[in-house]
Structure 1
Amino acid sequence: MKLPNPARRSISPFGQRGLKSFASIPGPTSLPIVGTLHKYMPIIGEYKFDRLHHNGLKKYKKYGPVIREEIVPGVNLVWLFDPNDIEVMFRCEGKYPQRRSHLALEKFRLDRPNVYNTGGLLPTNGPEWFKIRKIFQKGLSGPLAVKRFLKGTDEIILEWLERVEIIRGKQNLDYLPELSRLFLELTGHATLDLLLKSFSRDELNRHSTSSKLIKSALDTNSCILKLDNGPQLWKKFDTPLYRKLKKSQKYMENVAIDLLSLKMSLFSERSNNTQTLLEQYLSCPDLDFKDIIGMVCDFLLAGIDTATYTTGFLIYHLGKSPSIQMSLYEEAKRLLPNKDSPVTEEVLSEAFYSKAVLKELFRLRPISVGIGRVLNEDAVFSDYEVPKDTVVVSQNQVSCRLDKYVPCPNEFKPERWLKSHPLYQKNHPYLLLPFGHGPRSCIAKHLAEQNILVLLLKLIRNYKIEWNGPVLDSKSLLINMPDGPILATFHAR
């Protein structure tokens, strides 16, 4: 495909001949007081908050690649579908990329200065965000940095596969809760250097710490999008949805404090010089205990559901694609001679087909519908003038399924990412952005990819997957969740 001409879509001063005004950008009609919220109401509305990708496609077909909407009265959102325009959005993000997200979570934390110094990585903007991001990304900033977690990841996944072996014969078993336990354990290992024992008998009941942490993450993520974009009455008093968020966050906060206190007591007893990720943070003079509480809560909030849902969709697509499974199995068998062979750095460096499968999964089932930014300067998108401070949101999930950008866009074809394969084509660099882009991209993206790749290789090496459920779609929380259970049968190889 033809790559963008920077001169055509670059940042431009307003008033140039041929440019169209901000007010002329098409989009859904906004009403006084309610904005476009009436269009999202159950039964009568044409859009749904839990189907953002369907909303986006409808709007794209009706209005084109640049759309203006006021879901919340007075807050203009601009939706972008053209990857050329998405590139311009990132060129306008400045030194401190801003976004309008997790607003209620920020309020919750700033209302508790005795526990938190900031709103945390997710909602904070400006120099304050830059300060904590710069510190917390140490140890996570590249593929090589996260290799130190590889041995522990492999051991935890082996333990999880032992549980799979016990439960795989059960009828109509939903594997999504099982995946949540796995990624809670992996997040605890990386973030806290602690084993939370999420697969143990005591932790399997719904009143256990791990069960409540998983529920708290789900409850928080299910509230944030509606709190961000609905009537913001929670700013004035505790609405039911805001109370739900507060309850879930207070539980995560209490667990984080307990685990951090435990870790600090163990840290003082250590005699070797090899520091874990958390120990780096604890020994950093620019951080205090309140900063680290927020970091642990953010990692738990972002680390459980994102990887769980992505892997749920992975099982779905593999279960429906026997030929892809066979190609994966051939690679896994070559790289892992025995079923319990460890996944090493060398194995990952040779897992080309597995990486292509993961990339294709992110194209069809991205973590979220797109990426939001608040423009740092005036910009031009497809000849429309958009002023500084406007909230702009890319629609990568929709664009990745448009045949103008991807041939056979609704088919799961990992081969399209292999340079040696006839299906390969070079895509626009801003089309597929599963973890965002630039300095505000997902802080743990390399760790998340590594964890899912290790699981993929171990799972395929041990089992053949058969899908038993209906067709799945994405359900939009803040992140994309399967809209049904993960019903599969694992046949031992």
Structure 2
Amino acid sequence: MATKQMLRHGFVCQCRSYGSTQILRKAASQPIAINDVNSKDAYYKKMGQKVDVDERPEGWDQAKPFSSIPGPKPLPILGNVWRFFPGIGEYHNIELVNWYKGMKEKYGDIVYFSGIPGKKPSVLCFNPDDTETIFRNEGTWPIRYGLNSYIYYQQKMRHDVFQGIGGVLSTQGEKWFENRSVVNKILMQPRTVDLYVDNPDNMMPNDFQNEIFKWTMESMALITYNKRIGVLNRNLQKDSQEQRFINSVLSLFDLSYKLDILPSLWPYISTPNWRKFVKAMDFLTELNQKYIQECLDSSDPSIPDHDKSVLEKLIEKDRRIAITMVNDMMIAGIDTTGKTIAAVLYYLAKNPGKQEKLRQELKTYLPEKSSPVNKDLTRASPYLKAVIKEAMRLSPIAIGILRTSVKDMVLNGYQIPKGTEVISINILPSRDDKYFMDANEFIPERWLRSTTDEYSSKNVHPFASFPFGLGPRSCVGKRLANMELQVGVAKIIRNFQFSWPHPDAQFGATLLYGIQTPLRFKVVEADE
């Protein structure tokens, strides 16, 4: 059984074919000299129009001072950088989730971490009660910094392409609100999702995860540009521009972790990792510009709005926002969705009873293996949705969510002044027996409305698991991502039976969380 055959079962959408017009240019990798990519004063001034930043929260006077929050103490000159040095540093080469676990075990539910040059001090929160406080006080225009390398590249190095317009990830304050308002009208509408629906030993090879990435790239191209780009072609070469695109996305996330999470001198000098990052971003940007131009050259004005691509819809609102947004979508939609599908298939392979229960539900909507996915399945299918939600609880792509406080708060009994970087570490509560019965077990039933016992999610803290984020800055692509996951998982599980005849897979994170073990599933044809 060919691996690509299985992935094709997951890609059922129809689209128009387009011609090709290439526009390529070479971008120079240059050193940079900046002290602080983010200047927040202007944003806080605007935020004052939306939030009463001078109001003291309840319990402020009784709370312990900010300076007394526990955490690793920085040394003079060396700060906390030395903790990452090989041989002597306790944080050297430690996996990110394990680092957070160690911090929580040593210091408690709230930790202050500072002393890294070029990076702002931050407060780590591990308690859902504090997470709730953070999100209920984030204001109308939530502030979320991070990925400074990506922001600098878009806004400073490639003004020729992005014209100073950041995406919904990289902008803040009123400008973020303006951009998000344009994008929401298209990406957050149910009808946008519906557009893409009606449409030897049986062991998977070590590179099966890459086949899933090919599927997610093909899916994102269809959604973004309304065209098939041929990533699922059986004869796709390893040095093809499409495969290089996938490789560059994977490299980009790994480099972002090294540049923006770990200690790095990139804000001051052009480091080797920064140059690799620029090279990857240049390639991704240029190929996206090619796809954009092909889409626009082939655009048919007579096509009704509901049949147009996301690019065509966005460009009618604002061309600059459209260019930036579709570039972000193509980069962000491959690794994230691909890792999530891998996790779903893994948990189903490890739990054959749950897998069979899902398959029986799918037969209601897909009576034949070749039946196309329709709106009935994506709008109903409660167990399919529960399976996906449970997999994302156990293995959320984003293990933490960053906010900059826009007013004073009290977290875990400590004063948190406005302007503080606060990170809610959501992966630890989502796997804690304190919040979920048998938290480390894969139990999709906990998300069903019909479940009323102690396993029911109705009894769970509402801020203990939120894989797409919360509030106004929740993931703008969550509807499309859920649609991709439902279509892919439904078609694959309806056609194939998965098992995992190996020791448990290893999960881990750099910038994104997912399976790090090769996806060597055993796969056989499912019964009719």
Structure 2 length normalisation: TM-score? Answer: 0.83
Describe the shift of the 1:371–1:16 C-alpha distance in structure 2 as closer, same or farther (beyond 3 A).
closer
Distance 2:78 2:178 in 1: 37
Q: Shift of the alpha carbon at 1:130?
A: 1.8
1:468 to 1:177, Cα distance in 2 relative to 1, 3 A: farther
Structure 2 residue 183 is matched with structure 1 residue 146 = no
Contact map agreement 2:395 2:514 (CA 8 A) in 1: no
Of residues 475-484 and 435-444 in structure 1, the stretch that sits farther from structure 2 once superposed is 475-484
For the 8 Å contact 1:469–1:485, the answer to whether it is kept is no
CA spacing shift, 1:48–1:297, aligned 2, 3 Å: farther
5+ unaligned residues in a row in structure 2: which ranges? 1-54
| CA 1:185–1:33: 2 relative to 1, 3 Å | farther
Question: CA-atom RMSD, angstroms?
Answer: 2.1
Q: CA shift at 1:227, angstroms? A: 1.2
State the secondary structure of the residue aligned to 1:283: helix
Instruction: State which of 317, 320, 328 in structure 2 corresponds to 1:298.
Output: 328
The aligned runs of 1:82-481 (5 Å cut-off) are 82-111=127-156, 112-116=158-162, 117-152=164-199, 169=202, 172-202=205-235, 204-267=236-299, 269-274=300-305, 275-284=308-317, 287-288=318-319, 290-421=320-451, 422=453, 423-426=455-458, 427-481=460-514
Q: Deviations over 1:62-89 (max 9, x none)?
A: 2111111115247221111111110111
CA distance in 2, matches of 1:490, 1:318: 12
Q: For 1:242, give the aligned amino acid.
A: W
The alpha-carbon deviation at position 98 of structure 1 amounts to 1.3
Q: Quick one: structure 1 residues 138 and 16, their matched pair in 2 at CA, closer, same or farther if it must change by over 3 Å?
A: closer
Q: Which amino acid aligns with 2:435?
A: Y
Structure 1 regions of 5+ residues with no counterpart? 1-10, 153-166
Partner of 2:522, secondary structure, is: strand
CA 1:71–1:406 in structure 2 vs 1: closer, same or farther (change >3 Å)? farther
- 1-side partners of 2:405 and 2:525: how far apart? 52
Identity of aligned residues (%): 33
SS in 1 for 2:428: helix
Amino acid at match of 1:149: Y
Aligned partner letter, 1:105: Y
How many angstroms does 1:36 deviate by? 2.5
TM-superposed CA distance for 1:283, in Å, is 1.8
Q: 1:217 touches 1:300 (CA, 8 Å); kept in 2? A: no
Query: Which stretch has the larger CA shift, 113-122 or 205-214?
Result: 113-122
CA distance in 2: counterparts of 1:318 and 1:171, whole angstroms: 15
Partners of 1:72 and 1:229 within 8 A in 2: no
Which residue is equivalent to 2:74?
30
3-state SS in 2 of match to 1:245: helix
Q: State the alpha-carbon separation in 2 of the partners of residues 420 and 292 from structure 1.
A: 42
Deviation at 1:143, TM superposition (A): 3.7
Q: Matched residues in 2 for 1:225 and 1:171: separation?
A: 29
TM-score, reference length from structure 1 = 0.89
Tell me, yes or no, if the aligned pair for 1:173 and 1:488 is still in contact at 8 Å: no
Give the distance between the partners of 2:86 and 2:433, measured in 1 at CA: 31
1:318 shift after superposition:
1.2
| Contact 1:25–1:66 (CA under 8 A) maintained in structure 2 | yes
Tell me by how many angstroms 1:151 deviates: 2.6
Give SS of 1:491's match.
strand
CA distance 1:139–1:469, shift in 2 (3 Å): farther
Helix, strand or coil at the partner of 1:205: coil
Q: What one-letter code is carried by the residue in structure 1 that aligns with 2:80?
A: T
